[in-house]
Structures are given as structure tokens and as C-alpha cells.
Chains A and B, each alone.
Chain A
Amino acid sequence: MKGQGDAMRDTAPEEGYVTADGRKIGGVAMEMRNITLRFGGVVAIKDISFDIRWGEIRAIIGPNGAGKSSMLNVISGFYHPQEGDVIFKGYKRPKMRPYQVARMGIARTFQNIALFEGMSVLDNIMTGRLHHMKANLFQQALWWGRAQREEDENREQVEKIIDFLEIQHIRKTPVARLPYGLKKRVELARALAAEPSILLLDEPMAGMNVEEKEDMSRFILDVNDEFGTTTVLIEHDMGVVMDLSDRVVVMDYGKKIGDGTPDEVRTNEEVIKAYLGVAHE
């Protein structure tokens, strides 16, 4: 980890703010500074800067191909921007592999469900605990000492999440047999099992019916409320985004065209033009 030691502490965490419903939002957790991401000649993200504060629900919205998922992949360390810096907890983050980012407390869900279909819900969520397990191969194979102890501790944590997300009834069901809405919830459970400080959700409501969306919204709010998890989400459903998030970044063709509270974004003319269409009288 070369960069971390020598990087100067970049930002002093500023004062947070208090939301309308009384949640306390902390200082800056992560800052994107002038990020530019290119794939060959294609520029996916053009010079974008914004910050994410501790405890807030931050949404990234934009039309198809605006670069939202690329942005999320930059945050999760899957893509490395050619220009610009990711400042995490006040330090410039060096180039990292995704698993290293995960160890730093960033977990994610995927737009297309990426679960182990043949495994049970319980086992799938247990995989989220992977980096909390320290037992070596020998101990694991013999099921002895640390391995056994860790399994118990991790199982307890997983059961708490199962309880929290109300999926007790499908604990032992293979994922392949579940309906779509529940699979999404299992994915959220797996991400939560990692006990992340920042949770990235890539289109958590895509393809859901109204009831499933309501459930998922409630869980996202509950997770934020109960564990204080900072949440970054990409979402198409504007109603959901505007209701859920504290602040919204709007992207279009790789550029940032708006940033602020849902109300500010809603009235931003550029946003209306690019994304919401022209306002009708």
C-alpha cells in the first residue's frame, strides 16, 4: 500500500448537517476529485467531482449510458480512473484491487444479480463474511480451533441480518428457486454481511413491482437508520430516488450536470432539459 503513508491528509472533515427527519449527517467520507475515466477513445467519465458524507444516502442518477455504473465501479475500485483522485477517509486512495477495497469497508450489490444460484440463501450471505475469517486452510480443513469459533461468530452476524431483512423463511432455500425481488434482498443481505461503512447499490429496484420497491426502499432506509451505513445508490426510478436520498448527483454523457438535494435537482434547468425532459406547462 504505497500511497497511503506518504499522501498528505487531504481534506479536513467539515461539519455535517442535520436532515429534515432528524438524522445527523457527518463529515466527508469519500471525495471524488476531477475523475476522468477513458476506455480507449471513449470517455466514460469527464472531470467529475463530488463528495459523499458519512451517514447519508447519496444517489447518482442519469439517462442510460451517462456513466453511472462506471462511476460506481470507480468507487468500488474495479476501474482505475486515468485522471483524478479518490480521497477516502481523508487520504488519497492508491490503485487497489476490488478485494482490497472491500476490506476497507466498501460493499456493493450488482445491477444483474450476482449470487451463487445453487447455494442456499444462508451460504450466499456467509460468503459476505469472507474477509472476517482469518482461519488458515489447515484449520478450515480440520474444522478445528479458530475455524470453528469463527463460523459461530459469523453465523450469528449473518442471522442478525437475516432477521433484519425478514428472510428467515427462505434461509435454507437455494437462491435459484427464489423470485427476483427476494434475490435482490439476498444480495443486499450479503453486502450487509461484510459490515460495510459504505454500501454501493447498483439499481436496487430494477425490474421490481411496486410492492417489492416499497419493501426495498424501507430496507435501505432501515439499514441507514439502524447501522448508520453510508449508502450510494444508482437508480432509474425517479420517485424512489427523490424520496430516499439526501443528496443527488446527476450525470449526462459522462459529465456532472447537477448536484444537490432532491428539491434543488428537481428545479435545476439543465437537469430538467437533459434528463427529465422539457417541463410542460
Chain B
Amino acid sequence: MSSTAVTSQSLDDLTSIPALLARNAKRYGLQTAYREKEFGIWQSWTWAETLAEVRALSLGFLALGMQRGDYVAIIGRNRPALYWSMVAAQSVGAIPVPLYQDAVAEEMAYVLDHCGARFVVCGDQEQVDKVLEVQETVKCIEEILYLDKRGMRKYDHSHMNWLDDVMREGRAAETRLGGELDKRSAALTLDDTCVMLYTSGTTGKPKGVVLSNRNIIVTSKNSSEFDKLRPGDEILAYLPMAWVGDFIFAIGQAYWTGFCVNCPESAQTMLTDLREIGPTYYFAPPRIFETMLTTVMIRMEDASPLKRRLFHHFMEHARKIGPRLLDGKPVGAGDKLKYALGNLLVYGPLKDTLGLRRIRVAYTAGEAIGPEIFDFYRALGINLKQLYGQTEASVFITQQPDGEVRSDTVGVPSPGVEVRIAENGEVFYRSPGTFESYYKNAESTASTKDAEGWVATGDAGFFEEATGHLRIIDRAKDVGKMADGGMFAPKYVENKLKFYPNILEAVVFGNNRDRCVAFINIDLGAVGSWAERNNIAYSSYQELASLKPVLDTIQEHVETVNESVAQDDMLSGCQIHRFLVLHKELDADDGEMTRTRKVRRRIVEEKFNDLIDALYGGKDSIYTETEVTYEDGRKGKLKATLEIRDAKVFGQVAAKVAAE
């Protein structure tokens, strides 16, 4: 492909992440590369210091006998030293494999065994314990390294090292191993593997996606230029390191552009740290934007009447004017003035509180975002956009350019990416970021990527003719047919349901059936706060979910959604006839969701088979028992009697069309 050829020429010697690091240390030596809050203070490292740390770590890895082509697993929360471990592994010619830190031991065992990891770098004792447990069955692991020393004193250290010790040994070995390290780093080419990431996999075992230096570097270059990222930008690295997005944002783009990566103190302090850092470039899944908005709304309910009225008055104005201002459309002087006043009184302080004041570019992806949520942030003047991507594409397939942002599309093809829609509606792409292969899985590689490099996304979608923007309907394999031949797109309906703050999760069934039914998960935060304000007592999620007023509210939501689904003549068959509110939250620990919190439809369908039968069977209530796994791995049983509700459906659309 010509575009790839051009870009790879202009990359000169920048053929690997370690090469980019060396360039940054020269060019941006004294600018901050990493920041981490520890002991209540932001500690920082410049690019030059980062280079020194990574070099020490690489030499230490060499001293421990790390070979070219070794796989190095990295498990832990986002911390500079763990990012450095990845780059250090690359420097010695090894391949980093970041894992999800909240994975349980057996999930971890599969991945460690599959990639044959010789080295495992752990964040803390918790991860070390899991790896030790795994080691009983997975024999390839030779050395365990850890970052946080706490609680580690009593362990057998014959094949275990503290990262600080590794670095100390590395520094001491500079004269002996420095030459070898330089030789290995210099040998890295654009075609060498940069990183291997395991996809969470909504079905079956995780697959190891092999991404080359070319994939990562060219994609990072293109996407950085697309959004005009620059040195001096700040991001907060808080999403799982095993996720491709984190690798692209916190390593790919950060090293290409030379901006600063900030690591929060702990998962609980994320929002405080966000406020302190005030990032200029930000990514969050819709869920986080949703939670933020819900918190704001709950707190506004408790505010004094004056503040509440101010807030609502100016927010209404912002909803009208804010997005137009962002898109650079003409706005009257009076409206502009009022917006400025609102900015002074409401929007500015609110953005400050959320830590979003300095944002130039923010993205959301992974799931559909509710139009109201999306518009709320746009109204505040935050440049929130959507992108569509996947691990196999090194993230970017399509994204929204500034000024062409809407909540229901995912944008135009990213620079260098070609997209086409197959006959059955499935989206295909081809790009410089397209993955090399699935590790040790030629069969899956061949079925996903054809000889010409086109990759099937597994999503069904179409291009809007007027704007050229892509719209995604659903997973291609989830799109089915109703018994009467109509189209069944569960995600479409579920998303509409999930846009209500009271509904956390919804699963719609109806493939090959005559009508649709649904499971609902309520949002404990939103519904709980409502219950508190109305003096309704509840002791658990289960009890709250079975209260009559809660069910009434959910029923209203379902019926409103039915009404709006009925407007779409292609999908009007997807209206929900009956529903129930589940007695437990769907949870990754029980296998009902992926670690990235996507519902595993098949597993839910199997597990709650009795409930589906009841929904179709016409009963009013159903008694059920469900096995649950607690966070410490113990199992227990939940028992409940669930009420099943009928929802009103709307069928007039077809008749109306006929009448016209």
C-alpha cells in the first residue's frame, strides 16, 4: 500500500519504541515524561531520566538472561515502572505481554501458558501470589519480578527479584552488558513484534494479537497528527494495561509525540488525581462519563435551590449553544455572551470539579454512548468525540474529526485506513495498523484476515450517505432474525435502555422467536439514591431490584423505548414484550461479562435459561437459584423470586406507513 510505504520512509530510524525513547531523551530531555502520585506527592521523571531508568532495567533483564523473542508478562495497575518494563523488554528484543490485573489465576494460567512467558513482572504481592499458584501447572515461568516490596520478605527469592534490585544490578553491569544491549536495540525493525495483547474474547479462549512496531508506530503517528497532539499534552493512564487503547495512548502516542503520562495513586483516587492533573487528552469508556454525569446530577439534587436553578437554567442554554460553538457554527452575540456568563458561573467550576477543564481532545469508544450523556459534555465545551476500533486494528478504524461530531455515528475512516461494508452488512477494514497474526492460531488468523489484508470486524454497520460517517448497529453474529423474518438487533434496543441512568445493563433475547424479552440490571448508585431521597429502605441490591416502584419505573422506561423502537420500521419487531429485573448484577467474576464489561450473551442465556423460559412461558413470577463467586474466590448461592412484567408494545408504525 502506497501510504504505508510513504510513512515508513519518513520514519527514518524510528523503527521501535526504544528508538523513540532515545529520540525523546535527546529532543525533550528536560520535559516531564512520567508522573506518579506516591506518598501524596506527584513524583516526576523527565524523558532523559526515563531513558536512564529503562536502560538500567534492560541491563538488569539481560543480566537475568532474557533472550531475544522471550515473552515477558506484565501484570499490575498503571505504574511508570511497569511501562518501563515493557519498553525494557523490547530493548533486549523480548516481547511484552500485558495481562489484566483483575484476572483470576486460571484465566492468567491460560495466557501465561499460551505465550510461554519466561519472565513475569508483577505489580505487587497479590499478583505474585496468583503467579505462584499458576506456576504449579504452567512450567514455562522462570523468573518472577515484582515492583511493590510490601509483604514480600518471606517469599523464596531464588527465582524472584525486586525490580529495584534488578535495576541496581543492571547499572552495575553497564560495562559488561552495555554493548550487547545496544546491539539488540539497534537490531529492532519495523517488522518485529512490538507487543502481544490478548483480546478479552466475548466467546471462547482469549487470542494473542501480535502487533508489530510498524502497526503501533504508524498508527500512533497518524492518530497523533489527526488530533494535533503535541509535547506538553497530559494524559491520565488508568485503564487496564492489557487493553490495546492503553498501549496506544500511554506508549505509542506518548512516545511518538513526547507527551506526559500520569499514573494515579490508586484505583480509588482516580477522580481526585484526574482533577489534580487536569489532562489535555483523555479517553474513557462511556460508562465512566455516565458515572460522572450521574454523580453530578445526584449532587445537584442535594444542592441549595438557588444553585440548582442556576445549574438547570445555564445547562439548558449550554445544550443549545455549546455544541454549536464547538463545531464552529455561527452563534448570535447575545447567546455567546450568556454562554460566557454560564461559563463563569457554572460550566467552568463544574469542569474544574470533574478535572476536565483543560481537555482539548477526549474520546469515548467501546460501547454506544447515550446521546444525552454525550451532549452534556459537548454542551460544557468539552471536545468529546467517538472512535471505533479494535485490538486487531491497533485501535483506530474510524474516528470523528473536530467539528463533525455526533452521538450516533463513529466517524470517518482514520488516516491510512480503508473501510468497506460487505453484502451482509459486516464492516471490513485494511490499514497499516492491521495486526500480523493471532499467536499460535493460524486458523483464526486466516478466518479473520484475508490474503489482501482485509479484516472482518464482526460488527454490522453502514455508511451514512449524506455525511460519509460510519454507523454501527450491532455485532454481526448477534444480528439475527425474528420468527416472522424481521431483523433482530439486540444491542440497538439494549443501548436505548441503558441510556436511562436507572438501567445499568440490559440483555434482550428474541432470535428466532416471535417476540423479544429482556433482563434488566438496575444501577445501584442511581436507584439507591432515589430510594434514599424517598425514604425507601432496602438492604441489598436484590431487595432494591424487587421493589414495586422500581419495577414501575423500569416498566415506564421499557415502554418508552418500545415506542421509539417502533418508529424504525426495520427494527420494530425488536420491541420488548416482557421483562424482569435480575436479582444480581452481571459480573465478570461469574463469567457473565468480559473484563472490559461487555455482556457475554451466550453465557447469560445458558445460565439463566429458567428465567428465559419463564419470560416466554407467560408466568407472573419465577423462583430461581444462582451460583455466585465472591471476590475472594468462594462460591455461594443466591435465591430469589422474580416478578415478571408485561410491557406495552406499539405496532402502529406499519399501518401508518401504509396509510400514507
B38 at the interface (CB under 8 A from A): yes
A168, B154: Cβ atoms under 8 Å?
no
Q: Are B151 and A162 closer than 8 Å at their CB atoms? A: no
Q: Is B4 an interface residue (CB 8 A)?
A: no
**A168–B151 touching, CB < 8 Å:** no
A169 touches B266 (CB 8 A): yes
B60-108 interface with A by 8 A CB criterion = none
Number of interface residues of A (CB under 8 A): 16
The answer to whether A164 and B150 touch across the interface, beta carbons within 8 angstroms, is yes
User: When the two chains form the complex, which single residue of A156, A222, A225 contacts B39, counting CB atoms closer than 8 Å?
Assistant: A156
Contact with A along B36-49 (1 / 0, CB 8 A): 00111100000000
For residue A14, CB closer than 8 A to chain B, the reply is: no
In the complex, which residue of chain A has the Cβ closest to the Cβ of B266? A168
Q: How far is the CB of A54 from chain B (nearest CB, A)?
A: 17
Write the nearest CB–CB distance from B78 to chain A, whole angstroms.
15
Q: A169-B268, A169-B269 are in contact. Are A163 and B39 (CB under 8 A)?
A: yes
Within A79-124, which residues are at the interface with B (CB < 8 Å)? 122
Whether A270 is near chain B, meaning CB under 8 Å from some CB there, is: no
Q: Nearest Cβ distance between residue A190 and chain B, in whole angstroms?
A: 16
Asked whether A246 is an interface residue with its Cβ less than 8 Å from the other chain, the reply is no
- Pair A162/B272 contact, Cβ less than 8 Å: no
Residue A226 lies at the interface, judged by CB distance under 8 Å to chain B: yes
Knowing A159-B40, A162-B40, A163-B39 are in contact, say whether A226-B151 is a contact too (CB < 8 A).
yes
Q: Is B265 an interface residue (CB 8 A)?
A: yes
State the majority secondary structure of interface residues on A.
Answer: helix
The answer to the question of A171 belonging to the interface, with a C-beta cut-off of 8 Å to chain B, is: yes
* Binary A-proximity of B247-290 (CB < 8 A = 1, otherwise 0): 00000000000000000011011001000000000000000000
Find out whether the CB atom of B40 lies under 8 angstroms from the CB atom of A168.
yes
Chain B residues positioned under 8 Å from A156 (CB to CB): 39
Q: Which residues of B contact A226 (CB under 8 A)?
A: 150-151, 153
List residues 164-217 of chain A with CB under 8 A from any CB of chain B. Answer: 164, 166, 168-169, 171
- The yes or no answer to A277 lying at the interface (CB within 8 A) is no
Cβ-based interface call for A160 (8 A): yes
Contacts of B41 in A (CB 8 A): 159
Question: Number of residues in B with C-beta < 8 Å to the partner?
Answer: 13
A164 contacts across to B, CB distance below 8 A? 150
| A169 CA / B154 CA spacing, docked (Å) | 29
Asked whether any CB of chain B lies closer than 8 Å to the CB of A41, the reply is no
A169 touches B40 (CB 8 A): no
Give the distance in Å from the alpha carbon of A203 to the alpha carbon of B164 in the complex: 39
Taking the nearest CB of chain B, how far is it from the CB of A225, in angstroms? 7
Query: How far apart are A113's CB and chain B's nearest CB, in angstroms?
Result: 22
Cα distance A106–B196 when bound, in Å? 53
Contact between chains at B265 and A168 (CB < 8 Å): yes
A145 within 8 A of B: no
- Give bound CA distance, A168 to B265, whole Å: 8
Determine whether A22 belongs to the interface, using a CB cutoff of 8 Å to chain B.
yes
Q: Is the Cβ of A166 less than 8 Å from the Cβ of B266?
A: yes
Chain B nearest CB, measured from A24 CB (Å)? 11
Provide the residues of chain A in CB contact with B265, threshold 8 Å. Answer: 168
Question: Which residue of A is nearest B267, CB measured?
Answer: A169
Q: How far is the CA of A171 from the CA of B41 in the complex (A)?
A: 12
Closest approach, in angstroms, between the C-beta of B205 and any C-beta of chain A?
Answer: 33
Complex Cα distance A156/B39, Å? 7
Interface string of A127-165 (1 = CB under 8 A from B): 000000000000000000000000000011001101110
Complexed CA–CA distance, A171 and B154 (Å): 30
Q: Looking across the interface, which residue of chain A has its beta carbon closest to that of B631?
A: A211
Distance in angstroms from A102 CB to nearest chain B CB is 25
B15 → chain A closest CB, angstroms: 40
Q: A163-B39, A168-B40 are in contact. Are A22 and B269 (CB under 8 A)?
A: no
B627 nearest CB across to chain A (Å): 20
Q: Which one of A155, A159, A163, A225 has the greatest number of beta carbons of chain B within 10 Å?
A: A163
Instruction: Establish whether residues A159 and B39, one from each chain, have CB atoms under 8 Å apart when the complex forms.
Output: yes
CB <8 Å contact, A222 and B151 = yes
Nearest chain A residue, comparing its CB with the CB of B149: A226
Q: Let me know if A163 and B38 touch, CB within 8 A.
A: yes
| A-chain residues with CB within 8 Å of residue B39 when the two chains form the complex | 156, 159-160, 162-163
- Give 10 CB contacts A-B under 8 Å: A155-B40, A159-B39, A163-B39, A166-B266, A168-B40, A168-B265, A168-B269, A169-B269, A222-B150, A225-B153
Knowing that A122-B40, A169-B272 touch, tell me 11 more A-B residue pairs with CB under 8 angstroms.
Answer: A22-B154, A159-B41, A160-B39, A162-B39, A162-B40, A163-B38, A163-B39, A164-B150, A168-B40, A168-B266, A225-B154
- Interface residue ranges, A against B (CB under 8 Å): 22, 122, 155-156, 159-160, 162-164, 166, 168-169, 171, 222, 225-226
